[in-house]
Chain A
Amino acid sequence: MAYVATRGGEKAIEQAERLFRQDLGTIDAQRVETIRATMPYLIDRVMGEASLYDEELAALALAQTGGELSEAVLVLRAWRTTQPRLAIARPVKQDEVLTQRRISAAFKDIPGGQILGPTLDYSHRVLATDVLEGKPFAPPAVDKAASSAPAKQPSLADWQRQQGLVAPANPSAVSPEDIPDLTREPLLFPASRAHRLQSLARAETGGVLALGYAAMRGYGNAHPTVNELRLGEANVVVRHPRGTEFSAGRVRVSQAEVTSKEKGGYLELGFAATFGWNEVKVIAAATLDLNSDDAPVGSPVHEEFYLYHTESVEASGFCIHFKLPHYVTFQSILDAMRDAKVKRAAAEAAGEVYLGEPEEEPVL
């Protein structure tokens, strides 16, 4: 291993950072609050990928990185390490979520019914250029129903189990303290289901979408149908020193089940969930989960492939490290190239054929 020293680097680095921050201008509490209040889906995406739920901090991370998402996620994950873990909450159960959007593409008559919730799914996507002409866009008010939607909706998968459509599942017997935790232990393969789902929950949205889309287009074993998509708010249930359970507040969550075809007499189901409302991510992630079981090693739907390649901080970090000086490595490539040219010329002069050196497999 060898290094090349860079003279004058300290000053250039300082000025480069200043230039980046100068371009963003002064960051104050008002800017952070504006980002938080006006871009909830972007905030949700950052919180999900950072695996840290706090809207204010996510908005600050976006403000100070200029919206560079991988940098925002990195700075939030780094900040997270400064905080002690105070507790592990009671596990969130699907039928306890304050549900604001719940649809199924597989069954039209699901118990509790279908609620579109806040969505643009059935709307024309038209850019409101009038806003730029000085005409603010004020959204029309919702015509409220006479009565409220139920705060909680039943689990579709449980109903399907009662109908014999979905395989029985054993009750969870793991205490919250014993749930495998990727923030405390490495991801090993074959991964536990808890590790797989935690990794997908914090995965990079674009990466999950790309690999999930590959599976949907035919590079997987199963084509998904959304069994249930649910967006809602979950209580963070903690315990008082005297033992009383209570909710310290609510967090937005998304979860999706996707199904494909019959297997062993039951519908196959894939599942994924994440912090925030990010339905593209959970549908794509559930598709990867659905495709995992029989996936060939090395395919995009094999868990080792998609879990490693959708880890946002590792992936972006590895990608951007290639910008850093690799002069010594590259010099050795040039040396090898020049050496090969010399040998080829010598072989041709001697009337021989130069076959070259055998190529080595790349080392990751």
Chain B
Amino acid sequence: MFNETPAAGPGHGEMLDILARARPNRLKQHAETLLTALGEINVIANRTGLVMVPMRDTVKNVDFHLGEVLVSEAHIADAAGHVGYGMVTGRDLERAMAMAVIDLSVAARGQDDITANFLEQERAHLAAVDEERMRQVEATRVEMETF
């Protein structure tokens, strides 16, 4: 289970959001380029498991469990104790590990230019995918006066 320590600074959540939905092949390729600089890595966990997803009922504000989502998790640390963590939906353990490696690299060495570029490219890609879809969705907006 996750601990309750304070969040790791501004931008961390957004970076993790991007990494979890980044294109798998590009994610893995970028993680490979960071590995040698990280030295010895201790793998604390690399496994599949379940995350229970609750939802809030809109009628009485009661939280209830919708069901469980299969996820892959990777939890790693370097010799200095910096932590890298990845969790993605699905059963791709390499993808979770790649996310953890990039997270560890940023935690240990800060965000290098190549990682910053990678994150920006993936952010733009994800935003473009969403925009494309939501423009299609917007085309189905209906005015009920004339419907």
Contacts and interface: CB of A to CB of B under 8 A. Distances in A.
Given A91-B55, A179-B63, A236-B51, A117 B20 contact: no
Interface string A127-153: 000000000000000111111111100
Contact of A144 (B57, B70, B135): B135
A227 to B, nearest CB: 9
Interface stretch (A14-22, A46-54, A327-335, A340-348): A46-54
**Which of A244, A251, A270, A271: most chain B Cβ within 10 A?**
A244
A156 B58 CA distance: 9
A115 B141 contact: yes
Interface stretch (B25-33, B42-50, B117-125): B42-50
A194 B63 contact: yes
Tell me the dominant secondary structure on chain A's binding face: mixed
Contacts of B69: 52-54, 89, 236, 248-249, 251
A242 B7 contact: yes
Interface in B103-147: 103, 130-145
Nearest to B4: A243
A124 interface: no
Contacts of B59: 157, 166, 169, 257, 269-271, 289
- Interface size classification for chain B: 35 or more
Interface string A56-90: 11000000000000000000000010011111111
Interface in A7-50: 47-48, 50
Interface residues of A, number: 94
Contacts of B52: 85, 87-89, 176, 181
A255 interface: yes
A293 to B, nearest CB: 11
Nearest to B47: A84
A176 B54 contact: yes
A85 B53 contact: no
B7 A245 contact: yes
A360 interface: no
B63 to A, nearest CB: 5
Contacts of B17: 246-247
A243 B134 CA distance: 31
Contacts of A108: 144-145
Given A91-B55, A148-B131, A176 B140 contact: no
**Those 8 A-B pairs whose CB atoms lie nearest each other, nearest first:** A249-B89, A246-B16, A108-B144, A239-B2, A145-B138, A148-B134, A54-B70, A86-B49
14 contacts: A52-B67, A53-B89, A85-B49, A88-B52, A114-B141, A118-B140, A144-B135, A148-B130, A151-B130, A193-B57, A193-B60, A201-B65, A247-B20, A275-B66
